[in-house]
Amino acid sequence: MQAVVSIIHWLVALALAPLLLGIIGRTKAFFAGRTGSPFLQPYHDLRKLLGKGAVYSHTTTWVFRAAPMVGLGAVFVASGMVPFGGSPAVIEFPADLILVVYLLGLLRFATVLGALDTGSSFEGMGASREVQFSALAEPVLLLALATLGRQTGSYSLSTIFVDIAEHLSIHAGPAMLMGAVALLVVFLVENARIPVDDPNTHLELTMIHEVMVLDYSGPDFAFVLYGAALKLWVLGALLVGLVIPVHVGIRLIDSLLFVLGMFALAFLVGVIESCMARLRLLRVPQMLIAAGAFAIFALVLVLRQT
């Protein structure tokens, strides 16, 4: 029974991920005073891209063609490992959080390789920045997850998020709050959102993520786009699982609550993107180190309690 529910949850996650992009876009449009594209626009984009043929530069090799598929595969597996509103994920084993982090790393590695394979200096620059920021973001993510693991006494994502509420006391409040802040920063950095990167720009020299995927077209670009949406979901699910730790016990309500949480997070991202300007590139590492400081502080606080 549990397995069936988990599989249904996974399918829902796979289906709803692009909707998050739609919500973010709509929120930004609302704040800018425009009507904006419909919520389902990302789905139409994906369908349109899948229907097209792909164009490949003749300087590229098989690496360039394999990268979107490898990346999508990695994040696809990762999405099957994050729990969904108080019910365990499909793939679950002790210390699986490390695999999730490394699957996201594999996605990044594939994207960077694909970008470098084009031989364009522009894409190489984006790749170098992506790697630089990830090198700072990854420890923060691991530290934040370690905090949660230490608090709940388990290093499997499913176990952590299913009974997180039982392990929280008032004393753990500040530590969890700081862990959440660190996760939010990682979420914004890893998904290339403002204030780190602007996903809408293809023109500036300062962009990071979008520049790496400039040469993709057709189905390949659809894979990249869908992979990005899934990554948003995976990291978002960690954050929402922490912020909404309480579960009522009825599966349907819990799942609904979780989905609403994800939508709220997407809305929040839209608000952040509307209110903030992008940081100077030099300030981004500082922000990540600050998030790291929060994560270290949270971890130290949690370590002390036991």
Number of residues this chain uses to bind another protein (CB under 8 A): 17
Say whether residue 168 binds another protein (CB under 8 A): no
Cα angle 12, 193, 202; round to 5: 110
Binding mask 113-152 for another protein (x = CB under 8 A): ----------------------------------------
Q: Which is nearer to another protein, 85 or 292 (CB)?
A: 292
Q: Which positions ≥6 away from 70 have C-beta within 8 Å? A: 106, 107, 110
Task: Scan residues 210-239 and list those touching another protein (CB under 8 A).
Answer: none
Classify the C-alpha dihedral 133-134-139-144 as positive or negative. positive
3-state helix, strand, coil in the chain (%, to 5): 70, 0, 25
Q: How far is the CB of 173 from another protein (least distance, A)?
A: 8
User: Residue 146, Cα to own-chain centre: how many angstroms?
Assistant: 18
Binding mask 169-208 for another protein (x = CB under 8 A): -xx-xx----------------------------------
Q: How far is the CB of 289 from another protein (least distance, A)?
A: 5
Classify the C-alpha dihedral 237-49-73-133 as positive or negative. negative
Q: How far is the CB of 285 from another protein (least distance, A)?
A: 5
Cα–Cα distance between 165 and 144 in angstroms, integer? 17
Q: Which is nearer to another protein, 5 or 290 (CB)?
A: 290
Q: How far is the CB of 218 from another protein (least distance, A)?
A: 41
Task: Scan residues 259-298 and list those touching another protein (CB under 8 A).
Answer: 285-286, 289-290, 292-294, 296-297
Q: How far is the CB of 287 from another protein (least distance, A)?
A: 9
The distance in angstroms from the start CA to the end CA of the chain is 36
Q: How far is the CB of 296 from another protein (least distance, A)?
A: 5
Cα–Cα distance between 282 and 294 in angstroms, integer? 20
User: Residue 79, Cα to own-chain centre: how many angstroms?
Assistant: 10
Q: Applying CB under 8 A, which residues contact another protein?
A: 170-171, 173-174, 285-286, 289-290, 292-294, 296-297, 300-301, 303-304
